[in-house]
Structure 1
C-alpha cells in the first residue's frame, strides 16, 4: 500500500520522504542542479508503475530540456559578466546595507571587476561591492566635479611634486 502512495506522489509531482527543509537545502537558490535532476530521475524510475512504465523518449526529452536550461543559465552568467566588465572606468552609484541595516549610497568610478564563482564584485573607491548593489550608472557630466576629479590636497600635491622630480 505504501508503494502505491509513493507512485501517486510521483504522479502528483511530489518526491516521497523529503521534507521541505531538505528540498530547500539541496536546491539552494531555487535552481535545479544536475545532482537534483538525476536524483529525481532515479526516484522516478524507482517508483514507476510496472504496468505502465515510462518510455525512454520521455527521459531523453527531460534530459535534453535540462541540458538546454543549463546552457541558457551559463549563457546568462557569461552575459552578466560581460556587462559587469563593461562598467570598468564608468561612474556608478551603489546602494548597500550597513551592518546596522541602514541603506547607504556610494559614488565612484569602477576600477576593476572580480568574478568569484557566480558572484561578481565591482571595485569602487578601493572597496569591493557585489554587483547586486549597483543602483545607477552615471555619466560623469552629471556628477559634481569633486567626485569626477578629486580636489588636490597638500598630500596629493607633494606626491605629484615627488613624481615630477623623479621624472626629471
Structure 2
C-alpha cells in the first residue's frame, strides 16, 4: 500500500467562528473533495447527493435567516414611526385641551365627580400634569375630561 502525495498545495485555511460555515465554504470543501478523490476509488454518488441536500438545506436556512432579519428591521422601523406619530398626537391633544381649558379661566364649570354627583366651581387656572390637563379651582384640581358644563347651573341636573 503506497502513500499518495498532496497534489494541491495552494489551499489556504479559512478561519470560521464556531461551527458556522457559509455556502461558499461548503462548495469549496466539496470541490476539493472532488478534485482530490482517487479516480480508481471514486466515492459513492449517494454521499454527494447527501452533501448537496445538506448544502441546499444550509442555503435555505441562510435565506430564511436573511428574510427574518429584514422583517425585524422593518418591524423596528414601523414601531419607531408609530411611536413618533402617537407622541405627536398626544402633544396635539394636550395642546388642544390646554387651549380649551384656558378659555374656562374665570368661568363657572360643572365638574363630574362620580356617576350622579357633580359640583360647580370657578376655574382659577390651568395646569398640565404628566400630559393631562387639569382645571384649578379653590377646592382642588380636576381633569378637563371631567368638566361637563360651563356657566350658571341650578342644583338639579
Larger-Rg structure: 2
The alignment's TM-score, normalised by the length of structure 2, stands at 0.45
